[in-house]
Structure 1
């Protein structure tokens, strides 16, 4: 059992690692729960965007991942999703770290801690991701989509109108190389 306290004005929180961590998903209007009981140590991550303060839903997600890591003797990782630089707010990362610390959710890897696998800031890993995207494209395991937001909205609206699940229609899957090159040249 852990006891958490973050100062004279914050009450101590007492909790224990659940023997059975559950997660909840909304499927239509039905809620259901399914047990998660890994048989070995897990590596789980919490990956907020530094676009503001940590909200309650984010803190809940961090808590579930923290508890699962502790339950299995695994690793709880804090990864920073800072690729949308225009929306990043100065001081947001420090605020998130402070909030996690206040809640007693100490990460094992992340900003300033045990960075064995490289930077936890996603903006510093763009070249790694670019390499794998290029590889997937080259091997034919992915394709580029040039659909406009308007076309995607039209596809979504039509599917909903017909009572079908919303899914991309693979419109760009069959583009020729010359069509792909033309789209790329247009930005």
Structure 2
């Protein structure tokens, strides 16, 4: 990544962290959430067309991989999960269920959550499959690389298809972290 972008992204992340500190918002890495919290998140995913529906059982599995939440008092006002996939003996983690409460948007809290989970998974295979141009931009400034299906191994493409994650490349883009990019063609 170029030095100017690194400085700018660092500044934006620090501003988001400062906003959290000033507003009494905690950012926490958690591996377990109450059933009630999981029910709320599941319902939220059902109601919002921008989120894929995730059941409470799916969320229970995902939170075990580590989930970052934004919490103010007893309310979860933001979250990001990862979904674990196994591809030919390799674990691939897909960022999923990014959400920030409307009252707290425009403070780069979604970017903060994306940055934290991306950094947390920097030593393993992390993928983002997204439709939204804003998420594409965030992926790029976080150092993730856009890859087309033609740059992936045939095995990975077949696994994405089996998992129901093979998407129309006109509307969706695949981004991978540096660790995954270095080995994406080798995944057999």
TM-score past 0.5 threshold = no
TM-score range, shorter chain: under 0.3
More strand by share: 2
Rg bigger for which structure?
Answer: 1
- Higher normalized contact order (CA 8 Å, seq sep 6+, divided by chain length): 2
